[in-house]
């Protein structure tokens, strides 16, 4: 390894800048109810806790955007991310509450 390699790695790290956490959208739904969120072109899906929500990404009829469909299964909260890989992603913080009444 040459002497310049560590310097190049340090320079690349400095130029890359600090990593920033993606802000999440907040969604609240009741058990048994659903919510739909336009996630643009994001495709693919990952949810932390599938005992709280069921989730799926569907393409709109005009094929211009995707919609994340969430259904509350049990009271609690979880994060879901529409989009995987190198494309656009949308982070959703889902809170599911018990129905009132």
The domains of the chain are located at 21-97
What class does CATH assign to 21-97? mainly beta
DSSP letter (8 states) at residue 31: B
Query: Are residues 78 and 53 in contact, defined by beta-carbon separation less than 8 angstroms?
Result: yes
Determine the pLDDT at residue 3.
58
Q: Which residues contact 44 (CB under 8 A, 6 or more apart)?
A: 57, 82, 83, 84, 85
Tell if the pTM clears 0.85, that is, is over it.
Answer: no
- The torsion angle over the Cα atoms of residues 55, 56, 57 and 62, rounded to 10 degrees, is -120
pLDDT tens, per residue, the chain with 101 residues = 555 666 666 656 555 555 555 688 999 999 999 999 999 999 899 999 999 999 999 998 999 999 999 999 999 999 999 987 777 899 999 999 999 87
Determine the pLDDT at residue 86.
77
Strands 90-97 and 25-30: parallel
């Amino acid at each position: 390894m040459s002497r310049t390699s560590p310097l190049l790695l340090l320079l690349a790290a400095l130029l890359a800048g600090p990593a920033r956490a993606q802000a999440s959208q907040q969604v609240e739904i009741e058990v048994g109810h659903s919510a739909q969120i336009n996630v643009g072109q994001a495709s693919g899906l990952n949810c932390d806790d599938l005992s709280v929500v069921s989730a799926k990404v569907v393409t709109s009829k005009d094929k211009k955007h995707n919609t994340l469909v969430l259904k509350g299964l049990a009271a609690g909260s979880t994060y879901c991310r529409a989009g995987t890989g190198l494309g656009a992603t949308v982070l959703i913080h889902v809170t599911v509450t018990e129905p009132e009444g």
